[in-house]
Structure 1
Amino acid sequence: MENYDIVIVGAGASGVFMAYELTKLDNNARVLMLDRGAPLEKRICPVKLGKTKVCVKCDPCHIMNGYGGAGTLSDGKYNLTTQFGGELHQYIGVEKAMELMEYVDEVLCSMGGEDARLYSTASTDLKTECLKYDLHLLEARVRHLGTDRNVRILGKIYDYIRDRVDMKFYTVVDSIDRNGDGSFVVTTSDGDQFRAEDVVLATGRSGSAWMERICDRFQVPQKKNRVDIGVRVELPAEIFRHITDEVYESKIVYQTEKYNDLVRTFCMNPYGEVVSENTNGIVTVNGHSYADPSLLSENTNFALLVSNKFTEPFRDSNEYGQAIASLSNMLGGGVLMQRFGDLVKGRRSSERRMEKCFTRPTLAATPGDLSLVMPKRQMDDIIEMIYALDKIAPGTANEDTLLYGIEVKFYNSRVEVDDRLMTKIPNLYALGDGSGVTHSLSQASASGVYVARLLAEKYSRS
């Protein structure tokens, strides 16, 4: 059995920034970081390589798992705000949360992100225009790195920490047990064991089921979170250019007239591409964009999501989202795609109709009928939102606007932690998106820095 002071389970945003800060600060902690996915240089999706047009459900998924987590191959957007992206500020305070996110931004810039533009959504004109149509623009500053630059930055962070932090990939943590002296034994599926004084659970979105199992093992209370269900919209970039050129990532919230449900835009990718990803064996849809001009497409894509919360007797919101996404997989063999004009006319988008479509899809998806998959209430919400967006971005409701489904944002159950992000079990921490406390790259990274500073004091050389 190998001995460490700190074992970090998960090499996503929170784990990587925790390792970075522990490397930077003066301390003598022996640190190990484990992840079930691949190292950075081997995180290559077969779809990206052109080996296949559809997701082949790699296990683990290279988009979702591995060094850097799900954020590595994302479009690299860091939103500096407490208005959305998690509730870290509820635990450590708004001022501290913003300070840590600013620090994360400084680190990213120092590692190669200094040329990435920092956008601001605090645009009076755009906010005013949105309010005319009962649309609400949330405020944030957005650093857009792009997938390509994001990967390079994470590579530099890896080079910075690799001599200080031991890292093991393709490693599944099977169990965590507590010794009588308060230390922990972390056991992998290969039978390897590591003893640690402190264990940090930082498994990200894809580790939701694992996190729940570990918390149940230690009887750590958890609260079920919501699940967001919707579609990814793709349309010619010109339609949203006046918005994306100014603010890049526009978080717009709308309350529908029919049901009073909240619908929001999410993860806007100007000149980007639609991608598929494998979450626990279910193929869902997402979007990426790049910094390199040669990699830009002619389209912009973004998600439209409807939040769903449930009361007794049903409690598992993620199971609900997985069930809906699985219908899309059943009918389309993966992701379904439909023209907006076909949807509102109640007809399936066929191969023949897609041949006449002026919007060229960036993802090879199966033409079909999303109304056979999406529940009527959520579909009505999305259609109403598209017509509302058409008022500030004319052309959104065009016949050839493409809708891909299903997009699902799973939220991990919120783990009960204190103001140190420690569970009721001493020296057992839960942070990042895996804890349900954060839902964004900025806040997840900030949570890693926060706990790293606490533990660096504990293991200070002085």
Structure 2
Amino acid sequence: MSKYDCIIVGAGPAGIFCALELVRSNTGMKILMLEKGRDLPERVCPSREKKAPCFGCNSCAVVSGWGGAGAFSDGKLALSTDVGGMLGEYLDRRSFEEGIKYVHDIYLEFGAPEKIYGLERQEEIELLQKRAALAGLRLVPAPVRHMGTGRTQKILQRMQDYLKEKGVTVKTRSPVASILVESGAAAGVVTEEGEEIAARYVVCAPGRHGAEWLVKEALRLGLETTINPVDIGLRVELPAAVLEPLTDITYEAKFLFTSPTFEDRVRTFCMNPYGEVVMENTDGIITVNGHTHAEYKTENTNFALLVSKTFTEPFKEPIAYGKYIASLANMLGGGVIVQRLGDLMQGRRSTAERLAKGMVVPTLQEATPGDLSLVLPYRHFLAIIEMLQAMDQVAPGVYSRHTLLYGVEVKFYSSRLKVSGDLETGLPKLFVAGDGAGITRGLSQASLSGVVAGRAIARRVAGEL
């Protein structure tokens, strides 16, 4: 049986930064990274290449592989500790702030741009906050460093090259089936091919795509979990000029809203100026996302509107619930559905002819014109409409009949494992990190969570030497 000092399950931002921290600890650890997806150069989506509907690949190149879903994301690094997850519940304020800066410095080291949006023009940001408040919205100041999709992939490739040079073993197309346990502690993993690999420590950082697997493993191992809110919504696409007054200042405008009818929480997520809408495949369920390239721009801006719902007993299947809603869109549209807001409000489905009459040309050509009111629950649907109306008061043109809505967007990180401040689970020597563990919701915090786990393991190993 092969043996390592640490096995990292998942090669997204959390797994990568855990490996970087372990390497830089100078403890001489033998490290193995196992990733179920493909290596970065092999991560080619056939549907994007051929401009066709999703092919339903067993392992979606967009959400799994070296770099995780972050490799094909917009590459936004939040500098604020107020957005991007719940890591602040495990770190003191000073450590949290220093950790975010530390992560940014590492991204800079590997090629991230120096520019940060939202640090300057404070008077204009304050005016936007006041206008938002009058509309019932809260604009969260969130300085962001934008890498762009293409540049992000280059940065992640440099990180892999660096880790390999430092002796880290990286195996892609190597899914893990289960965690090995010996003497009441994590002792390695078992791959789906049945190979047992021993390790002194195990870090599970499977990303959103592996969240369901991690929850099942936690259940098998008797680990305690809590149910996070379920985030379900739509992706909005409109002319970039409509949101330029916001995006030119903040790049990504993060709005929080409480719907007046049902008092549900709604938020903007992943705003992509001059970007494009894309599809993702999570275990056969087709959902929608968006990003912006560093190399070229479109004439549109897109962002998600997500409705957060916290369920109570006896409900314990937030991921299954999200997949069920997404599957309705897949059933009706064969994948992602797109609809003009005007058609939606008139109670009719969009057609190719009606879309052609609109001002906004869909960047996701593979989306099927249809009727999203048949997909989302009524209170989700109403909350999104109410937020669009509120946003229109800050940026006129958001609530336009030409605005496009794509559905559905679901974030599969809805269960959180109970962990210590070092992100160690109730099973000794088993650590978790990133979006898949329900702890983070963005690149900065996901990366930092990997650092936190890596530092904890390095301290223990150093103490054992």
Note whether the superposition's TM-score is higher than 0.5: yes
**What residue number does 1:78 align with?**
77
Aligned CA distance change for structure 1 residues 150 and 237 (closer, same or farther; 3 Å): same
Shift of 1:206: 0.8
Structure-2 separation of matches of 1:432 and 1:408: 17
Structure-1 separation of matches of 2:51 and 2:424: 43
Structure-2 separation of matches of 1:438 and 1:227: 14
**TM-score where L is the length of structure 2:** 0.96
Structure-2 separation of matches of 1:179 and 1:372: 50
- Deviation track 1:341-369 (CA, whole Å, cap 9, x = no partner) reads 11111111112211211210000211111
Aligned CA distance change for structure 1 residues 250 and 148 (closer, same or farther; 3 Å): same
1:52-201 map, 5 Å: 52-120=51-119, 123-163=125-165, 164-180=167-183, 182=185, 184-201=187-204
Q: Are 1:328 and 1:405, in contact at CA under 8 Å, matched by a contact in 2?
A: yes
Aligned CA distance change for structure 1 residues 312 and 412 (closer, same or farther; 3 Å): closer
Structure-1 separation of matches of 2:12 and 2:251: 24
SS of the residue corresponding to residue 18 of structure 2 reads helix
SS of the residue corresponding to residue 62 of structure 1 reads coil
**What residue number does 2:20 align with?**
20
Q: Are 1:222 and 1:413, in contact at CA under 8 Å, matched by a contact in 2?
A: yes
Aligned CA distance change for structure 1 residues 35 and 239 (closer, same or farther; 3 Å): same
Structure-1 separation of matches of 2:237 and 2:440: 27
SS of the residue corresponding to residue 232 of structure 1 reads strand
Amino acid at match of 2:37: G
SS of the residue corresponding to residue 119 of structure 1 reads coil
SS of the residue corresponding to residue 98 of structure 2 reads helix
SS of the residue corresponding to residue 281 of structure 2 reads strand
What is the percentage of aligned positions where both structures have the same residue?
A: 46
Shift of 1:116: 4.3
Aligned CA distance change for structure 1 residues 435 and 183 (closer, same or farther; 3 Å): closer
**What residue number does 2:305 align with?**
304
Amino acid at match of 2:60: C
Structure-1 separation of matches of 2:30 and 2:102: 24
**Equivalent residue in structure 2 for 1:250, among 239, 250, 253:** 253
**What residue number does 1:40 align with?**
40
2:256 aligned with 1:219, yes or no?
no
Q: Are 1:118 and 1:141, in contact at CA under 8 Å, matched by a contact in 2?
A: yes
Structure-2 separation of matches of 1:280 and 1:97: 34
**Equivalent residue in structure 1 for 2:208, among 180, 205, 208:** 205
SS of the residue corresponding to residue 107 of structure 2 reads helix
Structure-2 separation of matches of 1:117 and 1:77: 10
Q: Are 1:227 and 1:409, in contact at CA under 8 Å, matched by a contact in 2?
A: yes
Structure-2 separation of matches of 1:133 and 1:114: 34
- Deviation track 1:225-282 (CA, whole Å, cap 9, x = no partner) reads 1211111110000000010010011110111221111211111000000001011210
**What residue number does 1:9 align with?**
9
Shift of 1:176: 1.6
**What residue number does 2:434 align with?**
432
Q: Are 1:432 and 1:445, in contact at CA under 8 Å, matched by a contact in 2?
A: yes
**Equivalent residue in structure 1 for 2:398, among 393, 396, 399:** 396
**What residue number does 2:343 align with?**
342
Structure-2 separation of matches of 1:258 and 1:212: 33
**What residue number does 2:362 align with?**
361
**TM-score where L is the length of structure 1:** 0.96
SS of the residue corresponding to residue 56 of structure 1 reads coil
Shift of 1:181: 8.2
Moved more, 342-351 or 256-265: 256-265
Amino acid at match of 2:374: L
**What residue number does 2:279 align with?**
276
Structure-1 separation of matches of 2:292 and 2:140: 21
Q: Are 1:11 and 1:203, in contact at CA under 8 Å, matched by a contact in 2?
A: yes
Structure-1 separation of matches of 2:133 and 2:261: 19
Shift of 1:54: 1.5
SS of the residue corresponding to residue 237 of structure 2 reads strand
**What residue number does 2:263 align with?**
260
Q: Are 1:226 and 1:410, in contact at CA under 8 Å, matched by a contact in 2?
A: no
Structure-2 separation of matches of 1:203 and 1:410: 12
Moved more, 112-121 or 427-436: 112-121
Q: Which runs of 5+ in 2 are unaligned?
A: none
Q: Are 2:117 and 2:249, in contact at CA under 8 Å, matched by a contact in 1?
A: no
2:348 aligned with 1:351, yes or no?
no
Shift of 1:217: 2.2
**What residue number does 1:286 align with?**
289
**What residue number does 2:330 align with?**
329
Structure-2 separation of matches of 1:116 and 1:47: 33
Q: Which runs of 5+ in 1 are unaligned?
A: none
Amino acid at match of 1:60: S
Aligned CA distance change for structure 1 residues 183 and 307 (closer, same or farther; 3 Å): closer
- Deviation track 1:385-421 (CA, whole Å, cap 9, x = no partner) reads 1111111111111111100001112224110111111
SS of the residue corresponding to residue 108 of structure 1 reads helix
Q: Are 1:229 and 1:406, in contact at CA under 8 Å, matched by a contact in 2?
A: yes
Structure-2 separation of matches of 1:31 and 1:405: 40
Q: How many residues align?
A: 459
Shift of 1:189: 1.3
**What residue number does 1:232 align with?**
235
**What residue number does 2:376 align with?**
374
Shift of 1:84: 2.4
Structure-2 separation of matches of 1:102 and 1:265: 24
**What residue number does 1:407 align with?**
409
Q: Are 1:28 and 1:460, in contact at CA under 8 Å, matched by a contact in 2?
A: no
